[in-house]
Structure 1
Amino acid sequence: MTIFSKIVAGEIPAYKVAETIDYLAFLDISPLAEGHVLVIPKKEVDYLFDLDDELYTGLQIFAKIVATGLRKAIPCKRIGVAVIGLEVPHAHIHLIPMNSVSDLNFSRPKLSFTPEQLQATADKIRDALRSE
């Protein structure tokens, strides 16, 4: 069972920003930027392109919805999208508020936020999604 499956099961807490019966979006706790969100299918599948077509397209549509709220909540030029898939063997999409290409550099030091700051960011994103 991956760490993401444990989050889905409620065994590990997360700063959730959106959820459906099949998908979950939550803040990355080692973010590249404020509002860095991970979007996952609740079904544990290691590799993004091993998802069946319905789950894959649903994940992309869910990510698009989350990105729309994220852009409203966190001032930025764009929401960057990255799929790396080496850190956790559970398909996931990174949504990262960005103002330049260098904002998507996964080699640079990650940011650190307090639990209160993470909760406030999650609340801002959820509120922006509700206003859709």
Structure 2
Amino acid sequence: MATIFSKIISGEIPCYKIAENDDFLAFLDMFPVAEGHTLVIPKKEVDYIFDLDEETYDKLFAFSRTVAKAVHRAISCRKVGISVIGLEVPHTHVHLVPINQVSDMNFSKQKLTLTKEQFIEIQEKIKSYL
């Protein structure tokens, strides 16, 4: 069964794309906990990150690292936190979240509400550092 992420990959659902290659896609989270909150997903639909084959797993983190460096340069923050929860959507995904303190990684807190223009501005800013 195709997940929402598979529908984003296929173009059925639009996203604010940050980076893409043959195997992975990075895009802004539509319900961010911080400005610049980015999701990185493999194009191969696998629910549980530890079920990925070793090569895909390693490449996912290498791709995530590249995107995280761009996020860090684009968004004012101390660091970019990384989290893999995997309960929201049954498709492996890595959260890259600009943080200044540990509590910024709290996914239970109120999500930001951004306009289309704000998403586009953040998207362009991050992409400019890739």
Question: Smaller-chain TM-score range?
Answer: over 0.9
Once the two structures are TM-superposed, the CA of residue 75 in structure 1 deviates from its matched residue by 0.9
Please give the TM-score of this superposition, normalised by the length of structure 1.
Answer: 0.97
Instruction: Flag as ranges the 4+ runs of structure 1 deviating above 4 A.
Output: none
**3-state SS of 1:128 partner:** coil
Residues 94-117 of structure 1 show CA distances to partners (whole Å, capped at 9, x for unaligned) of: 000000000001111100100110
Q: In 1, distance between residues paired with 2:15 and 2:121? A: 13
Once the two structures are TM-superposed, the CA of residue 128 in structure 1 deviates from its matched residue by 1.0
**3-state SS of 1:55 partner:** helix
1:104 maps to: 105
2:43 maps to: 42
2:18 maps to: 17
Point out where structure 2 has 5 or more consecutive residues left out of the alignment.
none
1:87 alignment partner AA: E
Task: Please say if 1:90 is aligned against 2:91.
Answer: yes
2:115 maps to: 114
C-alpha RMSD of matched pairs (Å) = 0.4
2:71 maps to: 70
**3-state SS of 2:128 partner:** helix
Q: How many residues align?
A: 129
Q: In 1, distance between residues paired with 2:120 and 2:22? A: 22
Q: In 1, distance between residues paired with 2:124 and 2:89? A: 25
Q: In 1, distance between residues paired with 2:110 and 2:84? A: 18
Please give the TM-score of this superposition, normalised by the length of structure 2.
Answer: 0.98
1:53 maps to: 54
